[in-house]
Amino acid sequence: MLAGRKVLLIIGGGIAAYKSLELIRRLRDAGAEVTPVLTRAGAQFVTPLSVSALAGQKLYQDLFDLTDEAEMGHIELSRAADLVVVAPATADLMAKMVGGHADDLASTLLMATDKRVLVAPAMNVRMWEHPATRRNVSTLMADGILFVGPNDGAMACGEFGPGRMAEPAEILAAIAAALSDGPLKGRHVLVTSGPTHEPIDPVRYIANRSSGAQGTAIAEALAALGARVTFVTGPATAPRPRGVQVIEVETAQQMLDAADAALPADAAICAAAVADWRVTSAAGSKLKKDGSGKPPTLDFAENPDILRTLSTHARRPRLVVGFAAETDDVIANATAKRARKGCDWIVANDVRPETGIMGGPENAVVLITEGGADEWPRLTKAETARRLAARIAEALA
């Protein structure tokens, strides 16, 4: 898929820059041609010689280099590639992209390019969670910028959390998806996945047995067909999908907020097992036994209905797909849910314990559409995802 493709790789400043050397190697092994651009900050972490040697290409660094401008001007450089990749993408670089700055070679190339741009953020967890960064990410996503990562993990600064740059294999998969000529190229699909956790007190919560495995498989199948995927996940045990933008949430309200922020989208696939109820006032301290033998009194409120909200949204995706995990009368209950929620399709399955589906490797679904019920055979979750992704591609064609 990458043989003969041209990638312009901008390496920002940060300790994660060392991963970009491995990314260059993997890209070249896959047959891609890599033209490297190293920022002044990036050169503090990797050397120009190592970058150029691994790429087997001339390295570009200075906007006002007369030789470089004579050989290949920055305008031509910005448009000669099939894809522009920024890895690592620092908070500063992303802020420049949002602000339209063009005060060095990297930012000027990003302003001048007419090609798709994929960024792999890397920064301290507090910087990633800062409101300014969150606003910038939302703006870039709305502008059509592709994201891969960041991941949770240990930071060089000693802290732990989101902000760690995606691994080279993940970025490679995202590049392949971005360059795919699949039927969903140019489409943006929102996928929700996993359970939600609704807190009772600081150590207890309401949840369910969803592993998030089916949602991960769906996101990867859509990306393989060329879609730009925004993956909003609760605290799932399944690995996160590669080559997509992952947004981690905990509660139903957080999931709704993230889904709303991801719009507009061509399709929304609501595969998450969202808790129907939450405790109205979660305790600030751990609830303890008082010796009376009586359980604490918990007051519940209904959680926001994410599927119905997206189905009736002013920026409603063209295709909205919900999921129905049922333990009896699967087709009847799922058909009623489709009408009640206002979505286009419902993917229903029987999750009685004896089926082994909830948390298991396989699924057996019924696709409920306006045309009726289409029962699929028992398949692996990956096969189910590929089959659903193909149907989505047909619907959006």
Strand runs labelled E in 307-396: 319-326, 345-350, 362-363, 365-369, 372-375, 379-380
The alpha carbon dihedral of 212, 217, 218, 219 has a sign of positive
Neighbours of 308 (CB within 10 A): 17
What DSSP letter does each residue of 20-58 carry, written as one string? HHHHHHHHHHTT-EEEEEE-TTGGGTS-HHHHHHHHTS-
Q: Tell me if 177 sits within 8 A of 243, measured CB to CB.
A: yes
Other CB atoms within 10 Å distance of the CB of residue 260: 14
Beta strand pairing status for 33-38 and 83-89?
A: unpaired
Tell whether 179 is in a known binding site.
no
Are 306 and 263 within 8 A, CB to CB?
no
Query: Among this protein's residues, is 157 annotated catalytic?
Result: yes
3-state helix, strand, coil in the chain (%, to 5): 35, 25, 40
CA 211/CA 166 separation, integer angstroms: 22
Tokens 């090609």 belong to which residue?
Answer: 115
Return d(Cα 260, Cα 125) in angstroms, integer.
23
Beta bridge partner(s), residue 191 = 231, 269
> Which tokens is 346 given?
């419902």
Q: Was 341 annotated as part of a binding site? A: yes
Between CA 362 and CA 348 the distance in angstroms is 14
Q: Is 337 annotated as a binding residue?
A: yes
H-type helices in 113-251, by residue range?
A: 125-129, 131-142, 168-178, 213-224
Residue 273 DSSP class: B
Q: What is the C-alpha to C-alpha distance for residues 242 and 173, in angstroms, rounded to an integer?
A: 6
The reply to whether 392 sits in an annotated binding site is no
Residue 305 assigned to a binding site: yes
Of the CA atoms within 13 Å of residue 149, those in its CB half-sphere come to: 32
Among candidate residues 132, 142, 157, 301, the one labeled active-site is 157
361 is in an annotated binding site: no
Q: Which residues are catalytic?
A: 157
Annotated binding site for CTP: 276, 286, 304-307, 323, 337, 341
Annotated binding site: 276, 286, 304-307, 323, 337, 341
